[in-house]
Amino acid sequence: MKNTEAYFTWHYIVLTLIILILINALWIGDFAWLFATIPFLISIGIIQLITAIDYSLKDLPSRFSHDWRSYWIMNVVYFSVMIIIFRASEDKDLLQIWLLVIPWLIAGYQFALVKRIYKWRVSNADTPNIDQL
């Protein structure tokens, strides 16, 4: 990913907005406000899938490659469980929690992983193989 700073900035902006929406929902006591996070989830999801594909195709150290495999496994499990909940459960609250809360945990995991890779890349800036990243 060429513009890592833009990735971080976008995530910080979205995180701030999500925190404000959550505080508002808690303050008012109406959790329908959480549906306002859906446009942010969609945009974060698209950015994160592009980022995940980009980083998965790079030649990274094994510790980062293992983390990317974990990220992809989390996504597969998330969507599999979502389909099961949608088909088998009548509890709409469970589906809403699964749709509106769990993706932020996966997004946070990827954000932390990209931040670790960025710090590793910056700390190794004087090595000759940095152009491959």
Low-confidence winner among 11-15, 19-23, 83-87, 94-98 (lowest mean pLDDT): 94-98
Q: Is residue 40 part of a domain?
A: no
pLDDT tens digits, 24-51:
877 887 767 677 777 877 888 888 888 8
As a whole number of Å, the end-to-end CA separation of the chain is 8
pLDDT at 2 over 70: no
Within a domain: residue 111? yes
What is the reported pTM? Answer: 0.72
Mean pLDDT score of the chain, rounded to an integer?
80
Q: Determine the structural domain holding residue 58 and report its residue range.
A: 47-123
User: Into how many domains does the chain fold?
Assistant: 1
Across 71-89, average pLDDT: 87
> Distance between CA atoms of 2 and 14, rounded to whole angstroms?
20
CA distances (Å), 130 to each of 49, 51, 89, 111, 133, in order? 23, 18, 49, 21, 6
Residue 101 maps to a domain: yes
Q: Is residue 110 included in any domain, yes or no? A: yes
